[in-house]
């Protein structure tokens, strides 16, 4: 990007608190916002973290809803909204990853309840006004300012127990936000700087996080990267990678972060020759003179994640329907999206091949 380029940048209005032990101050965040009765949201597996939040909320805690699920099924969202109404909640404190934060957004979308988000993964949803709901196997997404959390608490200590595979997949999911922000049609110099720094933070921390989950320096750098990458997701338009993963996840009920991690190198290989500025930024961030897609694929081979869609249970016979749905709605992408191109991309992702351009 040159100084003669035109761009627009809209800063997102939220407060960020980043500190080891920051979860203990969640009650102070409610007080600062003038809120007094929070419903705590989480997945069933993270009920113990919801209990921790309730302890720190004291009499500000209205109760816990612990049924958050991937891709936010509308049925789950309806039950959570009903629970918030029954308890007279004036806000939601969400602890967990994209599933929990997405559920909080579903409540905010209908009832306008403000959100305080405490991420325990690197998904980045807490930094965006993007919501998603899945109905009858189809995931619908949209943007609305009222689903943007008003306060985000980043506590690296809460990520220390995140298993190695989930840490790696969640980190790569975050990297995908930054990658697509670098070639987004509404990119800006600020977002491009954040995207490059976010990818660099993960490139320098993910292997250490996987090797020792209690390494708080590495955990802090990864969570810092998640913040930057999430901000990129919230400020720009995503392209082929996110469209493809939403279709795969929504129609085949695949795990969100793992799907993003597997697909990312292949979409990058599809796009990088048509996005030279993004390619150069990713080369710097990943420390390579070659193709960023290959460098990213090489990094992923060192991490404890599934490396092919086949490992997630996807069958080749399911891919034509995915391709048809992706092609049915046009969207911005640096490389024209074609049926042949998608067939090559998804075939490689299905098998876990080293990524190549068609």
pLDDT > 70 fraction of the chain, expressed in percent and rounded: 99
In whole angstroms, what is the distance from residue 45 CA to residue 165 CA? 16
Q: Where along the chain do its domains lie?
A: 15-159, 164-351
Look at 1-15, 69-83, 179-193, 215-229 and tell me which has the smallest mean pLDDT.
Answer: 1-15
- The enclosing H or E element of 256 equals helix 256-271
In whole angstroms, what is the distance from residue 24 CA to residue 53 CA? 8
Here the tokens at position 343 are: 């067939």
Across 178-203, average pLDDT: 96
If we measure between CA atoms, which residue out of 161, 33, 130, 131 comes closest to residue 91?
A: 33
Which class is domain 164-351?
Answer: mainly alpha
Tens of pLDDT, residue by residue over 148-158, are 999 999 999 99
Residues 6+ apart with CB under 8 A from 301: 307
Q: 201 or 9, which is more confident? A: 201
pLDDT of residue 5: 64
Tens of pLDDT, residue by residue over 308-352, are 999 999 999 999 999 999 999 888 999 999 999 999 999 999 999
- Please state which architecture CATH assigns to domain 15-159: 3-Layer(aba) Sandwich (3.40)
The b-or-e profile of 299-316 (16+ CB within 10 A means b, else e) is bbeebebbbebeebebee
Tens of pLDDT, residue by residue over 73-94, are 999 999 999 999 999 999 999 9
Q: 141 or 63, which is more confident? A: 63
pLDDT greater than 70 at residue 1: no
3-class SS at 68? Answer: coil
pLDDT greater than 90 at residue 284: yes
């Amino acid at each position: 990007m040159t100084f003669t380029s035109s761009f627009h940048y809209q800063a997102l209005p939220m407060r960020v608190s980043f500190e080891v032990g920051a979860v203990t101050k969640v009650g102070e965040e409610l007080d600062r916002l003038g809120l007094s009765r929070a419903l705590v949201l989480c997945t069933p597996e993270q009920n113990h973290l919801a209990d921790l939040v309730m302890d720190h909320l004291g009499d500000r805690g209205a109760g816990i809803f612990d049924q958050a699920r991937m891709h936010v099924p509308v049925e789950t969202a309806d039950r959570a909204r009903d629970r918030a109404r029954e308890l007279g909640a004036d806000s939601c404190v969400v602890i967990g990853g994209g599933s929990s934060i997405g559920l909080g957004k579903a409540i905010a979308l209908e009832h306008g309840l403000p959100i305080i988000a405490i991420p325990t993964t690197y998904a980045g949803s807490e930094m965006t006004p993007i919501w998603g709901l899945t109905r009858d196997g189809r995931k619908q997404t949209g943007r609305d300012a009222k689903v943007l959390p008003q306060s985000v608490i980043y506590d690296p200590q809460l990520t220390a127990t995140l298993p190695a595979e989930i840490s790696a997949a969640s980190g790569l999911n975050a990297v995908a936000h930054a990658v697509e922000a670098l070639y987004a049609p509404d990119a800006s110099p600020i977002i491009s700087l954040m995207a490059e720094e976010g990818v660099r933070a993960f490139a320098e921390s993910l292997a250490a996080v996987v090797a020792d989950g209690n390494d708080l320096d590495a955990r802090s750098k990864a969570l810092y990267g998640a913040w930057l990458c999430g901000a990129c997701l919230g400020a720009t338009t995503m392209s082929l990678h996110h469209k493809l993963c939403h279709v795969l996840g929504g129609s085949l009920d695949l795990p969100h972060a793992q799907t993003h991690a597997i697909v990312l190198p292949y979409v990058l290989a599809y796009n990088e020759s048509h996005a030279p500025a993004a390619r150069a930024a990713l080369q710097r961030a990943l420390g390579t003179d070659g193709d960023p897609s290959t460098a990213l694929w090489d990094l992923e081979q060192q991490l404890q994640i599934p490396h092919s869609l086949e490992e997630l249970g996807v069958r080749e016979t399911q891919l034509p329907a995915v391709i048809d749905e992706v092609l049915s709605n046009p969207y911005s992408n640096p490389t024209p999206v074609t049926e042949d191109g998608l067939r090559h991309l998804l075939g490689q992702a299905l098998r876990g091949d080293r990524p190549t351009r068609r």
